[in-house]
């Protein structure tokens, strides 16, 4: 039964109510997710194929089954549609794909002296996954770091974690450089600290002028009392607040409070959506998105899908300004209001300061789109050079690069880096903790485990290679031995059609003299000034850096959880005393009972508990 017949067969049971429908292919994959005010009428429109665009006719032809979910309102259907699109990534929908998450500033809760935190990742509409008040989004983690540093200088809040906080016996360096009021040792009362927290909330909410006036009154009062050192401290806090304001303001009219500006520029079958984020009247960064869509998709459809998906895990502001009018603008506003819990207005300004802000975003969208096209053109030339050098049948759409890292077999990890026509695909990177103890320290065994796990999973999840997750080229950091190890793994798994290559550094490990190894071919070098060589070096270096970072993260995590963490009754203070006295948890484990009793702050009973934990 063809797609039209499948769709027609569902019509008798469909209600004339709002809802969401899913078109499903023969292999069970979701082809398309759509929402409707009237499910019966919307789905029936797909049976009249003569009036449909070519892309839609192709989608209907591939449909073999459908699923439906009814909702109370069309706004609920829009929210559900956006959620399903982001989760299922159906190929016939406009997809907002971006491997960078937003950053937020979080003011902690549930503690007498809450901390100031940087949170990166999704944020639901009830706040961050961290417990506290959420402020953002910020487009750049660096901007969050600078903002937190300025807030520390202005309000002296702590940023240390709770374990460090409870184990302090004297102020840390942050207090010495006047970035913390040292609540850990009682240098500030809970009431004064709460006032500082409220000051941060006021600044992040756009009420910094009142805070600055209060700081100025304190400074003048201290000066009148001839307390010049205190006056200087208030002066420094005013300067920090002023620096924060000047850094967040850009050359745009200060006409916005909480608002986002979304502008789309489409050309040549690709599109760029430029987003400006304003909170409290200040610009909190910009970001260019490049949604995946069909070549004939119009600007309004791209913008509608983008906005609905963007605010699926990002709290919307009170106002969203669009560069193009969209058919469902009122519906989008209703859906965002429903999800946010406060009124959200969606506007398309035609004149005045708001329009100038939108025009500025449009200019940035056009420029970002042009840069992207230039980068893709250059990337395409480099991939063509790789195909020529390695004898590939066509341009590789996905290159996977592998490397390992360990220190004398300790904390062994493997890393997979992915690159393609769009550059590095960081959301596709994978890190592998080596599980086989016998493989630790053995580069060949580690590589075999990594490749076995990676391709074993690929065979299980996508044996037909339809999801674009299979590589056209696997590049190994190593020489002939590593290449043969990779060949053996793929042969054992029955994997064919994946090109293999290894890149080995030249004599004395000199960059520029790399040798390349391919199956059944003599090793060769590329010319030292060949751009393709530089490109392959970048791929190799990115894999090397990712492996080292993964190893360092695992090692530091292990250092945080020492062998004495599991001893009952040993809290942060006693743990610190033991480590300071003996130097390491290994030395603590090897210490005798009398030696443990000599450690500062360790009683005879505690010493016996530690000794019996390791020797009992």
pLDDT in tens, 37-65: 999 999 999 998 887 888 888 899 999 99
In contact, 102 and 138? CB cutoff 8 Å: yes
| Eight-class DSSP state of 5 | H
- Residue 505, φ and ψ in degrees, nearest 5: -70, 150
pLDDT in tens, 356-377: 889 999 999 998 888 888 878 8
562, 585 in Cβ contact below 8 A? yes
Measured between alpha carbons, how far is 404 from 377 in angstroms, rounded to an integer? 32
Rounded distance between C-alpha atoms, residue 155 and residue 159, angstroms: 12
Which run of H or of E encompasses 445?
A: helix 443-461
Alpha-carbon span 117 to 574, nearest angstrom: 27
Residue in 413, 397, 396, 416 with CA at minimum distance from that of residue 405: 413
The pLDDT value given to residue 125: 43
User: Within 13 Å of residue 588, how many CA atoms lie on the same side as its CB?
Assistant: 26
| The model's pTM | 0.66
Taking the CA atoms of 588, 593, 595 and 598 in sequence, report the sign of the dihedral they define: positive
Asked if 574 contacts 427 with a C-beta cutoff of 8 angstroms, the reply is no
- Under a CB-based contact definition with an 8 Å cutoff, are residues 97 and 292 in contact? yes
524-573 pLDDT, tens digit per residue, is 999 888 899 999 999 999 999 999 998 888 877 666 556 677 777 777 77
Pairing of strands 259-267, 319-322: parallel
Strands 399-407 and 473-477: parallel
Give whole-number Cα distances, 182 to 146, 174, 194, in Å.
21, 8, 14
Query: Hey, what are 559's tokens?
Result: 């250092």
Q: Which of 374, 308, 297, 377 is nearest to 338 (CA)?
A: 308
Sign of the Cα torsion 115, 116, 121, 122 reads: positive
Token pair, residue 321, equals 């300004």
Collect contacts of 449-454 with beta carbons under 8 A, ≥24 apart.
449/414, 450/402, 450/404, 450/414, 450/416, 451/402, 451/486, 451/489, 451/490, 452/489, 452/492, 452/493, 454/400, 454/416, 454/430
Tokens 């690709």, located at residue = 270
Intervals of the chain under pLDDT 70: 1, 97-100, 121-131, 243-256, 506-512, 557-563, 583-584, 616
Angstrom distance (rounded) from CA 608 to CA 568: 12
Which residue, 202, 238, 198, 201, is CA-closest to 218?
238
pLDDT the model gives residue 532: 92
- Smallest CA-to-CA distance from 320 within 292, 351, 294, 343 is with 343
DSSP state of 289: E
């Amino acid at each position: 039964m063809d797609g039209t017949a499948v769709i027609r067969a569902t019509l008798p049971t469909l209600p004339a109510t709002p809802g969401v429908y899913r078109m499903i292919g023969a292999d069970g994959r979701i082809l398309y997710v759509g929402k409707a005010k009237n499910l019966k009428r919307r789905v029936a429109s797909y049976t009249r194929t003569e009036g449909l665009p070519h892309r839609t006719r192709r989608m209907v032809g591939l449909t073999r089954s459908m699923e439906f979910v009814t909702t109370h309102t069309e706004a609920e259907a829009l929210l559900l549609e956006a959620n399903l699109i982001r989760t299922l990534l159906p190929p016939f929908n406009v997809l907002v794909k971006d491997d960078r998450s937003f950053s937020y500033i979080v003011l902690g809760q549930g503690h007498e002296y809450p901390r100031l935190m940087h949170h990166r990742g999704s944020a639901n509409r009830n706040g961050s996954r961290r417990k506290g008040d959420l402020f953002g989004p910020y487009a750049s983690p660096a901007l969050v770091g600078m903002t937190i540093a300025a807030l520390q200088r202005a309000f002296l809040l702590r940023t240390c974690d709770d374990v460090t906080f409870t184990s302090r016996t004297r102020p840390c360096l942050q207090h010495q450089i006047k970035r913390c009021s040292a609540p850990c040792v009682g240098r500030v009362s809970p009431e004064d600290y709460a006032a500082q927290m409220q000051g941060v909330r006021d600044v992040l909410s756009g009420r910094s002028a009142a805070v600055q006036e209060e700081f100025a009154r304190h400074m003048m009062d201290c000066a009148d009392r001839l307390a010049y050192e205190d006056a200087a401290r208030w002066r420094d806090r005013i300067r920090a607040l002023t620096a924060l304001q000047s850094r967040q303001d850009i050359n745009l009219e200060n006409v916005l409070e909480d608002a986002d500006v979304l502008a789309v520029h489409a050309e040549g079958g690709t599109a760029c959506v430029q987003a400006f984020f304003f909170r409290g009247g200040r610009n909190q960064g910009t970001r260019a998105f490049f949604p995946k869509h069909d070549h004939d998709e119009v600007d309004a459809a791209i913008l509608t899908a983008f906005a609905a998906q963007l605010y699926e895990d990002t709290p919307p502001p009170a106002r969203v300004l669009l560069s193009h009018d969209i058919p469902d603008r009122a519906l989008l506003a209703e859906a965002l209001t429903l999800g946010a819990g406060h009124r959200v207005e969606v506007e398309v300004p035609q004149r005045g300061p708001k329009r100038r802000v939108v025009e500025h975003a449009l200019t940035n969208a056009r420029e970002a789109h042009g840069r992207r096209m230039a980068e893709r053109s250059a990337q395409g030339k480099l991939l063509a050079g790789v195909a020529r050098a390695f004898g590939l049948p066509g341009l590789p759409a996905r290159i996977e690069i592998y490397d390992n890292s360990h220190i004398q077999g300790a904390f062994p990890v493997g890393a997979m880096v992915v690159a393609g026509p769009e550059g590095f695909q960081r959301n596709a990177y994978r890190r592998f903790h080596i599980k086989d103890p016998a493989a630790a320290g053995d580069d060949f065994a580690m590589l075999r485990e990594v490749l076995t796990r990676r391709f074993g999973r690929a065979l299980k999840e996508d044996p037909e290679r339809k999801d674009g997750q299979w590589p056209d080229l696997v590049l190994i950091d190593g020489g002939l031995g590593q290449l043969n190890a990779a060949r053996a793994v793929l042969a054992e798994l029955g994997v064919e059609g994946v090109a293999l290559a290894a890149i080995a550094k030249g004599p004395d490990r000199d960059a520029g003299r790399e040798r390349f190894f391919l199956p059944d071919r003599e090793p060769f070098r590329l010319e030292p000034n060949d751009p393709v060589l530089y490109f392959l070096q970048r791929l190799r270096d990115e894999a090397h850096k990712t492996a080292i970072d993964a190893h360092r993260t695992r090692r530091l995590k292990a250092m945080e959880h020492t062998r004495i963490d599991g001893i009952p009754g040993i809290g942060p203070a006693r743990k610190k005393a033991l480590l300071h006295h003996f130097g390491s948890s290994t030395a603590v484990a090897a210490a005798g009972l009398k030696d443990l009793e000599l450690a500062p702050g360790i009683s005879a009973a505690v010493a016996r508990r530690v000794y019996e934990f390791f020797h009992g």
